[in-house]
């Protein structure tokens, strides 16, 4: 083997090694980024759960509920069943300026620009999933389900205000007041002649939802894979 051939092989091997190293570093960075996103998401959900349990001591608070849909399963961050009604709450940990559009929202924070699917549309599918569960109960099928989106960061602000899109400190007052907007001044339970849910009804609804929730790890893994694909599409 002459010197030129050896040089070519060394260059070829070095390039291969450099490519492999770059792929490895990229994979590690993606994994670290994914863990950070999950960490902030978990922390945000814990904050919302603590707020709900503190401000609604006589209510039922269900966290990370998996329900069946026509496409598999969907995960609901929080379900609040209180005397003011039933609420499906989608939690977001984004901060900075949030540009709100119909289908896709954009986060602007420092030098970061992140696009993500509209949490309003995302939560609408969660509301429908819960409504389908309640329809299976003879006394719960008329219960209205309300969808709310909550951002937990104190450094978040919106390009415009949307009804039902709230900061964490606005969540409990919004529910207890029936909504502080002209478009939806009163949140009804859907039961004619009644404004509040009784404690008995709250317990009944909680038991029915728990009974129809998906508890298997297989469905949760499938849902997590779906989230990863969405993360690649919108970030």
What confidence score (pLDDT) does residue 139 get?
A: 77
Q: So what's the pLDDT on residue 33?
A: 53
Counted residue by residue, the chain has a size of 235
* Regions of the chain short of the pLDDT cut 70: 1-16, 18-41, 141, 179-195, 216-235
pLDDT the model gives residue 233: 36
Q: What is the pLDDT of residue 150?
A: 96
How confident is the model at residue 7, as a pLDDT?
A: 60
What global pTM score does this model have?
A: 0.72
> What pLDDT sits at residue 184?
43
d(CA 198, CA 102): 36
Residue reference for tokens 């030098």? 111
pLDDT of residue 231: 41
Which of the 8 DSSP states describes residue 160? Answer: S
Pairing, β 96-99 against β 156-158:
parallel
Using an 8 Å Cβ cutoff, are 82 and 175 in contact?
yes
Beta bridge partners of 149: 90, 165
Dump pLDDT digits (tens) for 86-103: 999 999 999 999 999 989
Cα 225 from Cα 235, distance rounded (Å) = 15
Residue 93 has phi, psi (to 5 degrees) of -105, 5
The C-alpha atoms of residue 219 and residue 201 are separated, in whole angstroms, by 29
Of 121, 123, 89, give the one whose Cα is nearest residue 102: 121
Quote the Cα angle for 200-48-203, to 5°.
10
């Amino acid at each position: 083997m002459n010197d030129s051939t050896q040089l070519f092989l060394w260059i070829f091997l070095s390039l291969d090694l450099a490519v492999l190293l770059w792929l490895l570093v990229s994979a590690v960075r993606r994994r670290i980024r994914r863990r950070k996103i999950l960490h902030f998401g978990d922390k945000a959900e814990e904050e919302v759960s603590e707020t709900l349990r503190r401000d609604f001591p006589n209510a039922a608070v269900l966290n990370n509920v998996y329900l069946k849909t026509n496409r598999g399963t969907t995960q609901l961050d929080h379900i609040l069943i209180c005397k003011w009604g039933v609420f499906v709450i989608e939690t977001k940990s984004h901060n900075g300026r949030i540009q709100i559009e119909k289908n896709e929202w954009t986060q602007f924070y420092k030098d970061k620009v992140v696009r993500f699917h509209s949490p309003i549309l995302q939560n609408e599918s969660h509301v429908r999933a819960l409504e389908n569960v309640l329809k299976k109960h003879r006394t719960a099928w008329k219960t209205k389900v309300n969808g709310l989106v909550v951002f937990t960061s104190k450094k978040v602000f919106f390009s415009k205000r949307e009804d039902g899109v709230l900061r964490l400190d606005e969540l409990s007052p919004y529910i207890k007041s029936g909504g502080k907007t002209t478009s939806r001044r009163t949140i009804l339970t859907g039961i004619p002649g009644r404004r509040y849910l009784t404690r008995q009804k709250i317990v009944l609804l909680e038991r029915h939802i728990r009974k129809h929730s998906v508890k298997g790890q297989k469905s949760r893994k499938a849902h997590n894979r779906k989230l990863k694909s969405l993360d690649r599409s919108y970030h």
